[in-house]
Amino acid sequence: MDRSHGYWYSAGQRLWRDKLARVCIVILGFYLLMVVAAALGLVAKNWNEEVGVSYANPSFVPDYPNPQGSNSLVKAEPLGVDPAARAVDPLAPYYAEIERRAAQYERVTPEPRWTLPFGGDKWGRDVVAKTIKAGQISITVGVGAAILAVIVGLLLGATAGFTGGRVDSVLEWFYNVFTSIPYILLVLAFAAVFGRGISTVILVLGFTGWTATYRLIRSEYIKQRDLEYVQAADAVGASALRRMFVHILPNVSHLILVQLSQLVVEFIKAEVILSFLGFGVPTDLVSWGIQINEVLAELVLGKWWQLTAAAVAMSVFVVAFGLFTDVLRDALDPKASRK
């Protein structure tokens, strides 16, 4: 005998039956793992250390021309100091003493490596570690901002749609004001006032990007508020807040989920552009946008690996997340047909 399953269970089954969705979930799971591992310091902890020579070659093209590399045509010439110069050196009598004292301390000078797995950047930092760290920050910003935007949009949209009347008019006015300024300009205006930093970027993107969610949730609440189950809840004495968030919310939660994943992609793209322009993540950290900003100068020198690493990491994530959103929408809404 077949047991009938709940909504979420069957949605999950529909999702998992789709091969494309499964591939996307595996890819996104891998990214998530990397983000958590990087946040805990398990991987890419030392991304900021200069482990290689400047623009170290990737291991698979060790012979790429690099003036700092092992195939360098420039040979280091030891410069001799002639006696005449030594005679006027005021430190000359102390050199023996300095050497003796310095020898008391253990000194480790790691030899900078000629090659790194996927090359190094200008300061000789490992591109792989840097890209992982950048991914952690970009994804954190995207997800954080999306959650914030959805919460703001949900609260305002639910209030406007459920209450109606004057409250709705005020919130509609608020919405009109925010949407009458082109989005990127609004973000830049906020960024100009609030400055830089990870949490600032999350706040700026979240507080400017709530409008689409608001619209969606508002129209959905207007549709739901007069349905029988809400009337029934009203009849048994459920308060307005309870009807809004206990009764109606579960019935729109699939929309919120789809909206959330759409916004994550959008905000990651926005963060990349903001950081590229220098208004996003501060430059002592790294994000995909900052990496692409550095690439402008590197390309002219023929150093293509950092661009490749950042571009591939970012594009794979965005494509996988975008496809996942599409499949998720279909899985959550079995009645919707794909055009």
Partner 1 sequence: MSAYLLRRAWQIVPTLIGVILLVFVLFNLFGGDPATILAGKIPSKEKILAIREQLGLDQPWWVQLWIFVQQVFTFDFGRSWATNEPVSQMILQKAPVSITIMGQVWLLDALISVSLALWVAYRRGSLTDRSIMAICTAAMSISFLLYVVVGQYIFGYTLGWFPMIGWSDSFWTNLTTYAPLPVFLALLVTIAPSTRLYRSFIVEETDHDYVRTARAKGAGERRVMLVHVLRNAAIPIVTNLALSLPALFIGSFLIEKIFAIPGLGREVILAVDRSDFPVIKAITVYLGMLTMLVNLSVDLLYQRLDPRVQLK
Positions touching partner 1 (CB under 8 A) are: 173-174, 176-178, 180-182, 184-186, 188-194, 269, 272-273, 276-279, 289, 292, 295-296, 299-300, 307, 311, 314-315, 318-319, 322, 339
Nearer to partner 1, 87 or 300 (CB): 300
State which residue, 112 or 197, has the beta carbon closest to partner 1.
197
Q: In angstroms, what is the minimal distance from the CB of 238 to partner 1?
A: 34
CB nearer to partner 1: pick between 85 and 181: 181
Nearer to partner 1, 131 or 224 (CB): 131
Q: How far is the CB of 18 from partner 1 (least distance, A)?
A: 16
For 57-78, the DSSP string reads: EETT-TTS--TTSTT-SPPPPP
285 neighbors 47 (Cβ within 8 angstroms): no
- For the CB of residue 15, give the shortest distance to partner 1 in the complex, in Å: 19
Question: What does each C-alpha distance from 205 to 8, 184, 249, 279, 301 come to in angstroms?
Answer: 30, 10, 24, 12, 34
* Shortest CB 288 distance to partner 1, Å: 8
Beta carbon nearer to partner 1, 134 or 230: 134
Grouping H, G, I as helix, E, B as strand and the rest as coil, residue 53 is: strand
Q: Give min distance, CB of 216 to partner 1, in A.
A: 18
Whole-number Å distance between alpha carbons of 11 and 108: 57
Long-range (24+ apart) CB contacts under 8 A made by 42-45 are: 43/129, 43/132, 44/128, 44/129, 44/130, 44/132, 44/133, 44/136
Q: Which of 226, 239, 255, 224 is nearest to 154 (CA)?
A: 255
> Which is closer to partner 1, CB of 256 or CB of 292?
292
123 or 207: CB nearest partner 1: 207
- To partner 1, the closest distance from the beta carbon of 122 in angstroms equals 16
Using the CB atoms, write b or e for 262-289: b if 16+ within 10 Å: bbbbbbbbbbbebbbeebbbbeebbbbb
Give min distance, CB of 184 to partner 1, in A: 6
Distance, CA of 52 to CA of 74 (rounded, Å): 18
Coil, strand or helix at 42: coil
The residue behind tokens 């591992």 is 37
- Give yes or no for a contact between 270 and 190, defined as CB atoms under 8 angstroms apart: no
Count of CA atoms in the C-beta half-sphere (13 A) of 149: 29
Shortest distance, position 206 Cβ to partner 1, whole Å: 15
Between residues 123 and 183, which has the closer beta carbon with respect to partner 1?
183
